[in-house]
Structure formats: C-alpha cells, structure tokens
Amino acid sequence: MPEILLTAIAAMGVYKGYKWFAKKMRGAQNVVAEAGNAAERAKMAIKDLPKLKRDPVTGIYRLKK
C-alpha cells in the first residue's frame, strides 16, 4: 500500500513540475515573439526616416532633395 501512495505522490509532483515548466516556456516564447515584433517595427521605422546630406562648408546636415 505505501508503494502505491508514494507512486501517486511522485506522479503528482511530476505533473505539477511539467505544468510549471510549460508555463515558463510559454512566457519565454512570448518574450521572444515580442522582441521579434519590436525588431520588425524598428526596421520599418528606420525605412521611414528622411535622408540627410551633409553640407561640406558648414558641416550641417540637411534634408536630401
């Protein structure tokens, strides 16, 4: 009888450990996906920036025409 009880407790511990691990992996997956989305948004923002050209005399950057 004690073996069955010990096996049941061990199985419950393994199940809870699996659920905890799965929850942590889902959280990590969400962080990675959000980082990918942020990188994509940054890449698109860089494309939308205006082009600048440096004035050789004054050294001031002005919008490229």
pLDDT in tens, 1-55: 889 999 999 999 999 999 999 999 999 999 999 999 999 998 888 887 888 899 8
pTM: 0.57
Quote the pLDDT of residue 14.
Answer: 98
Radius of gyration of the chain (CA): 28
Q: Largest Cα–Cα distance in the chain?
A: 93
Please give the pLDDT value at position 35: 95
Looking from the CA of 54 toward its CB, the CA atoms found within 13 Å total 3
